[in-house]
Amino acid sequence: MQRFWVSDSGPDTKAFRLSRETTDQGELVPQGGSSPTPLRRPKSLVRVSRSASGNGGVNMIRGVLKTFGLLPGAGRGLRFDHRVEALLDDAPDVALIVRPLLVTWRQLREQIVVFDKAVQQQARIDPICRLLMTVPGIGAPSSLMYVSTIEDPGRFSRSRAVGAHFGLTPRRYQSGETDRSGHISRCGDNLVRTLMYEAAFVIRHRVKRSLHLKDWAEAIERRSGPGKARVALARKLSVILHSVWRSGEPFRWAPKATAA
């Protein structure tokens, strides 16, 4: 098993450090802390996994190489570190700077795999997460973050209120005779909102099966544009997830038939 060291400067920051140390059990340990804290919060696990999977290391290496006129390029079919190594063969002076960064990048990729497996495992053992993952576009990170943020579906008397809780509803400006709607409020958890956007993107562009949600979003896109369609679909997904959780029934791909 692994021990993970994470910066205490906040879960959303890129400033983290991962150390691969053998322990008897997997633990999440704050940097500079004296005692390990058991990994009990799935939300923290998803946040760290998302932060670690960013492109900060790749961009740093690209920036250093660009300073010396070296461009690794897109290189489809070839891993990034292999492309960089090919450039460093002819630039030994640059290699002294870049190769340590490559070592760090490779170790980080290994830790990302560990975090991803932990997220998948946590979702598999949670019956509520498995239920929510019957909704199209919803995977392990999305279901874990949703359950960890809502905690109790009884907090909301109506499923429609969840969209406002995640900041997916328009702001309302009222003054005198003026009454208009603006952009979404963006209140609540930013990562949950991002995961809902990603789920909406999956439904719009990757789900090939016939789905009423996709048809509904396409109608909004024709009327108001892709941006508003994506936000509307993300808001609807947050509402559907709450409804599925509260009812205990899996998502129905076809809308319920109405009696004639």
238 and 132 in a common domain:
yes
d(CA 256, CA 212): 11
**Structural domain boundaries, residue 145:** 127-247
How many structural domains does the chain have? 2
Q: Which has the higher per-residue pLDDT, 144 or 40? A: 144
Q: Is residue 252 part of a domain?
A: no
pLDDT at residue 87 is higher than 50: yes
Q: Is residue 98 part of a domain?
A: yes
d(CA 65, CA 95): 10
Q: Which has the higher per-residue pLDDT, 154 or 24? A: 154
Q: Which has the higher per-residue pLDDT, 70 or 10? A: 70
Return all residues near 212 (Cβ < 8 A) that are at least 6 apart: 254, 255
pLDDT digits (tens, 9 = 90+) for 92-149: 899 999 999 999 888 888 888 888 888 899 899 999 999 999 999 999 999 999 998 8
Percent composition of the chain: helix, strand, coil (DSSP 3-state, to 5): 55, 10, 35
207 and 152 in a common domain:
yes
Q: Which of 61, 89, 124 is the last residue of a domain?
A: 124
217 and 184 in a common domain:
yes
* Mean pLDDT across 232-242: 94
Q: Is residue 81 part of a domain?
A: yes
Q: Nearest 5 degrees, angle CA 8-CA 11-CA 16?
A: 60
93 and 17 in a common domain:
yes
Return all residues near 198 (Cβ < 8 A) that are at least 6 apart: 137, 142
42 and 104 in a common domain:
yes
